Structure 1
Amino acid sequence: MNSDRVFEYPFGDIYRLYLAKVERKGHTRDELDTVLSWLTGYTASELADDATAALTLREFFTQAPALNPNRELITGVICGVRVEDIDDTLMREIRYMDKVVDELARGKKIASIMRAPRS
């Protein structure tokens, strides 16, 4: 698939798909918002606003208040590609988001998803 086309997907459509996925697996909007807020710096209310605005994925990440530096600790395979091997910066950000949502849906602890230090 052409990367430029992916970058122009509406964030709201992606958010709704993420929400349906995590709810199907017994998780909540609050949990989804927690991991997305950790990743991007958006608040839950800003995520809700962005989900209803005509914001593209490119705009969503370009306007992100504070991309978490620990997001670079996210590794693994998503859609058959190793996240850490993706050269395109924006595509890597999108795949980081996919990865944390997948981890939430699979039941991984939020502290672990957010790459928090172990105590």
Structure 2
Amino acid sequence: MALQAAALAVIAASTGFTGWAIGTILLGAGTAMFYPTLLAVIGDIAHPLWRGRTVGIYRVWRDLGYAVGAIIADLLGLHAAVWTAAAASAATALLVAFRMYETHPRRPGQTRERDISLP
């Protein structure tokens, strides 16, 4: 999310093709990292009976963001809408950084995932 926020800030601050191209490449990379992680988190913390609902709720809020962005763009301009999306992404990244916790803590002395010894 932090990379997405930075990418959106690059896009909002740019006035030409080069800045927009760099911003969209970064945005694609951030999104490519975000979605698999989101699904892994849902798999870790959501009960199997409501995992699908959890993804659906996320998508409702995401799609609502598109509508809000369109309203902001209509009222204040496209740059304001992109800056708003950048701020929302940055706030989400900070919220996750401080509120999320590891659901599979490492054992003492364990350094890598492949070091897990099965009982």
TM-score when scaled to structure 1? 0.34
- The structure whose residues are more often helix, as a share, is 2
Give the greater-gyration-radius structure (CA). 2
